[in-house]
Amino acid sequence: MALLGNMFTKLKNMANKWSQGVSNLFSDKPLTDDFWEELEERLLLGDVGVETADELIAELRQISVDRRIAHTGELKEAFAEALVKRLEDVPGMGRPIDLSDRPSVVLLVGVNGSGKTTTAGKLASRFAEEGKTVILAAADTYRAAAIEQLKVWGERVSARVIAHAHGSDSAAVVFDAIGAAKASGADVVIVDTAGRLHTKSNLMDELAKVGRVASREAPGGIRETLLVLDSVTGQNGFMQADVFNKSIPLSGVVLTKFDNTAKGGIVLSISRRLRLPIRYIGLGEGVADLELFSCRDFVYALLGMEKADTRNG
C-alpha cells in the first residue's frame, strides 16, 4: 500500500498541464457543445489518440443523456471511471515483476535515451529492498558509457555487474550473467540491452539472439521482457514498440520521465494501441522514484480527485 500511496502523492504534486486543463473543464458550467469541443481538443493535445478520444466523448454524451446531467461538474466522476475502465481492461496492468524462478531473468529493451540503464538500477534497488540478490548484465556493449553507468548503479545498489569489453558480443554477456547467477544462487538477472534503433535490422537481430540465449540458459526462460518507453516521445513510441515486439515478445512497459511531460494521455494510448500493461512508471530522478503503476491512483491523482480506495489497477 505504501508504494501506491507514493504514486498517488507524487502525481498529485506534479504540475501536469494536460491533466489540469482537462480537470478544469469539469466545473459548474452548463453542459454545451463548446464543452465537448474543448474536451476533444484537450484529449487530442494530450496524446490520447483520435479513436480513444471519440470513444470517451461518445460514452460521456450518453451518460449525460441517461442521467439528465446539465452541468459539466456532474460528469467528472463518470469521466474518471471511464478512464480507469480502459486501463484496467488490459491484463497485467500494474502487476509487479514475477520472480518465481531462480534466477528470474528480466530483459529491458528500448531506444537510446529511454532510460533503460537507470530503470535497471532502480529495479535492482527495489528487489534488494525485498531481500533479493541481483545481478546486472551490461549487455549494451555498443556504448562504453552505458557499461560504466551500469557499474555505477551496481555500486550504488550493491548489485554485482557482469560486463565484457566495449564492442563484445552482448549475448555472451547474458550467458555469463545467467551462469554467475546460477553459481551464486542469485535471485534476479536484470539485462540492460543496447538502445537499438528500430531502423537497424542487424541490431534487432542481435536483440533476438540475446533473447534466445537467455531463454535457453535461464531455468524458466525469460521471465519478463519490458519495453522502457520515454513518456516525452508520445505517439512516436508506438513504432518502437511494434518493432521490438516482433524481435522479442514484450510482457509490459516501463514508462519513464513522466514527471517531465504534460501529455498524460500517452498512458491511455499505450493501453489501447499496444495492448501492453504498464508495469512501472518513473516519477522522478531518485533511486526510489520508480513506482508500481496503479490505474485508479493514476487517474484520480491527475484529475485532482481525492480517492479513499487504494486498490491496485
Residue 47 is classified by DSSP as T
Asked if residue 264 belongs to a domain, the reply is no
How far, in whole angstroms, is CA 80 from its chain's centroid? 20
278 in a structural domain: no
Give the residue from 151, 223, 230 showing the smallest Cα distance to 195: 230
SS3 content of the chain, % helix, strand, coil (to 5): 50, 15, 35
Domain encompassing residue 203? 104-256
C-beta of residue 192 within 8 angstroms of C-beta of residue 137: yes
Q: Is 34 exposed, middle or buried (0-12, 13-18, 19+ CB in 10 A)?
A: exposed
Query: What average pLDDT does the segment 278-291 reach?
Result: 87
pLDDT tens digits along 230-275: 887 755 667 777 778 777 889 999 998 887 665 667 788 888 878 8
Say if 89 falls within a structural domain.
Answer: no
Q: How many domains is the chain built from?
A: 1
Confirm whether 232 is domain-assigned: yes
Mean pLDDT of 267-296: 86
CATH number of the structural domain spanning residue 141: 3.40.50.300
Residue 168 lies in a domain: yes
What is the percent of the chain with per-residue pLDDT over 70, rounded to a whole number? 88
Q: Is residue 235 part of a domain?
A: yes
What pTM was computed for the model? 0.88
Count Cβ atoms below 10 Å from residue 79 Cβ, excluding itself: 23
Phi, psi of 124 (to 5 degrees): -60, -40
In a domain, 37, yes or no: no
Task: Using alpha carbons, list the distances in angstroms from residue 282 to 60, 168, 265, 279, 286.
Answer: 30, 30, 15, 10, 9
Mean pLDDT calculated for residue range 95-101: 91
Q: For residues 50-78, give the mean pLDDT.
A: 93
Q: What is the mean pLDDT of residues 215-219?
A: 93
Q: Is residue 118 part of a domain?
A: yes
